[in-house]
Structures are given as C-alpha cells and as structure tokens.
Amino acid sequence: MTTLGVTDGLPDSSVLTYYLYKATKAVEFYRPVMYLYFLSLNLSFAQIAVLEAVYNLATVLGEVPTGYVGDRIGRRNSLVVGTAVITATLVAIGLASSFLVLVALYACWSMGYNFRSGSEDAWLYDTLTDDDAADDFSEIRGRGESVSLLTGVVAAVAGGYLGSLDLAYPFFVAAGVTALGVPILLSLSESGTYEAETPDHLSLGRTLDIVRDAVTDRRIRAFVLYYYVLFAAVLYLVFIFVQPIFETVVVDLGVAESRVEPLLGWYYAGISLVGAGLSYHAGTIRERVGLRTWFLVLPFGVGGALAAMYFAPVLALPLLLLARGIADTTRTFASQYVNDGVESLGRATVLSAMAMVSGLAVIPFQLASGVLSDLSSPLLALAVAGVALILGSAAVLVWEVPVAKRAGGSTKSEG
C-alpha cells in the first residue's frame, strides 16, 4: 500500500501544504493573555462565561449549515472562508472596548471556526482515502497538530511579551499570521473521493438524514454523550481558567504581578511543547494504547485531577501543562473514530454536527462555572466540573460502552 504523506522519506505535497496551513493557526499569540485582556476591559468572570456561551450558541446554530456549505462548495473553499472571517475578527477584538461589542464579535468568531471545524478533518480524511491511507489519519492529523503547537511555542512566548506591552497586540499579530493561511489553502485541491460523491446532488434534507443516522448509529451514539457532551465540554472549561488560576498560584508563591504576563507566555509555550509531543505520537499512542482504552480511562483520570487541584492548588501548574496535549490528542482520536463510521458524502456536516453537540453541551457548564468562579474561585468551578465528568462518564458506561470494537480495516482503533 502506498501511504500518502511519505514519498522517498519526505511528506507528500498535499500533506506538506496541510502542515503549513496548520502552522498559521496562530491562537498561541493571544491565548496566554486572552482572558486577562477581557478582565482588563472590566469584564467579570460571569461576563466572560457569557461570551463563551455566545460562542458556543453560535456554534450550535451554525455548525450544520456551515458543514453543509462545506460539503457543497468544497472543503478547501470552506476553509478559506473560515480563515478570512477569523482574521477579520481577531483585528476587531483587539480594537474592542465593550462587552456588547465582544458579544457580537464572539458570534462572528464562532462562525469562522464553524467553516473550518468539519471541513478540515473531512478534507484530510478524504485526501488520505484517495491513496488508501485512511488508517494514517490519526498519525498525520496528530503531526499536523504537533506542527501547530510547535509554532505555538514561539508564538506563546512572543504573545506573553507583547501582552506585557499592550494586551491587544497579540490579537493583531495573530490576525496577520492567520491571514497567511488563505494563499496556502488556495494551493490545495479537493480530493477525488469527495468529487466522486457528486456533492451537487446533496440536498439539505439528505444531509440532515446523514447526520441523524450518524448520531443514532449504535457505534457512535454513546460516544457522542461520552466525549462530545461530557469530556470535551469539561476540557473546554479548563482552558478558560488557566490564566486566572496560574496568576493566583504564582502570586501566592511570591511572583510579582508585573511578571505574570511574560511568565504566562513561557507557560503556554510549555503547554504547546507538551501538546506537540503528545500529538506527534498520536499514531503510536493509538497503536500501543488503543482508542478504546484511552477513552475508557482518561475521563476518570482528568476528573480526579481537577477535583484534586481544589485541595492542592499548586498541582494546577503541572496538571494544566498536560491539559492541552490531552485535549488535542483526544480530539484527533475522536475524529478518527467518527470518520471511520461515516461515508464521504456529508462527512463535513457530520463532523460539524459533532462540534455542534459539544458546543451546546458546554453552555450550561460555562454559565455555571462563571457564577461559581465569581462566588468562590475558578478552582472550585473546575473541581465541580471534574466530579460531574466522573459521574457522567460512569453513567454512560452503565448504559452502553461508548467505544465499539471495530472489524476489518479499523482494528487499529482498538489498539
């Protein structure tokens, strides 16, 4: 079998271009100071939670329509539209000065990511399928995430120092780097697998039928609850509270408040470096551990760690360092699992629907965590979320094992 992604020891041109595109996903420039920026605009934790809820509500309302558009106009074109929207939104966020303006911008931001969320993995999976290399999806996607995270190491350090000058600067730099993704994406072509499925004949009604069949499939339905409703939603909360928790812990350890932003940059660089290592070895983890073992064990470990942080806050520093890598690697495995269970026709829409489910599920977590954080602390909010993850995961397991055993060509999903 010819494996797409390696030609004479070098990446295939399409995969190499995919890696270049991943390097332009410049979130690490602003991520180390993002919530500090919002707090500097006098937003409360509850208002920040509302912003995140608006983002996810826009995801819920927009994922399936944008996934459908991606299936109709092509995955590459959908990625181009999403990248352009994200670029413009980042500039506007850096210029924003009020909560209401940020609410509107968060909705636009979500729409940009809606156009990219399902189309990116759908394009990669179908492109690999063209060369009978779909089993390499986890490895190549994981390495793509590794490229993004390694680029993020430098970006995070730069973002921390830029934020110490002005908390808006990282958003402007991130917009410039993100914009580079447009010409890179335009150099890509659609896969033969996608074009062979005659997307012009894909009606909205047929698309909704495909989504319904996917989420009610016995191999996927429990997985949707287990990962997209519970695990992904709780990990999303972790990223919201990294900055205030880090600030609280290091100040309590004697660090001057003036040094927090630069230190956050280095800390996020460490997060990216750890995440890059885990993502790069996603294929190896899948082979040696197996998707089934990974998903059945991890939620309980993460839930217990979040609860432990409340009683020993200093544990947050090493535990949050691992969170990003765990989240990205798990997202890769989830995409592999769902992709293995659906056909190419409507693939982007199904993957977008999964993101929609996750976006809807996280809203009550966000609102409750914002209120708890204002009343007590972000550490308590994450502890409660950790307990909810443990209890919810156990309940799903009692109902049905969420990761089904696969036969034939997908046995690698079992490990």
SS3 of 167, please? coil
Q: Place 88 in a pLDDT band, splitting at 50, 70 and 90.
A: very high
- The model's pLDDT over 71-82, given as tens digits with 9 standing for 90+, comes to 677 778 888 999
Model pLDDT, residue 45 = 81
Q: Which is higher by pLDDT, 341 or 248?
A: 248
pLDDT at 87: 95
Determine the average pLDDT of the residues in 386-413.
75
- Alpha-carbon span 296 to 290, nearest angstrom: 10
- The answer to whether residue 353 scores a pLDDT higher than 80 is no
> What sign has the CA pseudo-torsion 394, 398, 400, 401?
positive
User: Residue 278, by phi and psi: left (phi above 0), alpha (psi -120 to 50) or beta?
Assistant: alpha
pLDDT > 90: percent of the chain: 19
- Summarize pLDDT for 29-49 with one digit per residue, the tens: 888 888 889 988 988 888 888
What was the pLDDT predicted at 409?
Answer: 36
Domain ranges (residues) in the chain: 13-413
Summary mean pLDDT of the chain: 80
pLDDT of 10 over the 50 cut: no
**Which range, of 51-65, 146-160, 175-189, 252-266, averages the lowest pLDDT?**
51-65
- pLDDT value for 208: 59
Helix (H) or strand (E) holding 193: helix 192-196
Residue 4 pLDDT > 70 = no
The yes-or-no verdict on residue 27 having pLDDT over 80 is no
> Residue 2's pLDDT is what?
40
Quick: pLDDT tens for 154-189. 888 888 888 888 999 999 999 999 999 999 988 887
Contact assessment for residue 124 and residue 261, using Cβ atoms and an 8 Å cutoff: no
Q: What is the pLDDT of residues 303-319, one digit of tens each?
A: 999 999 999 999 999 98
DSSP-based three-state secondary structure for 44:
coil
Beta carbons within 8 Å of 322's beta carbon, 6+ residues apart: 274
Residue 343 has a pLDDT of 62
Render pLDDT for 118-145 as a digit per residue (tens, 0 to 9).
677 778 877 787 777 777 777 888 888 8
Helices (H) and strands (E) in the chain, counts: 19, 0
| Predicted pLDDT of residue 86 | 94
pLDDT of residue 71: 66
Burial of 398 (0-12, 13-18, 19+ CB in 10 A): exposed
Residue 12's region, left for phi above 0, alpha for psi from -120 to 50, else beta, is beta
Q: CATH topology for 13-413?
A: Growth Hormone; Chain: A; (1.20.1250)
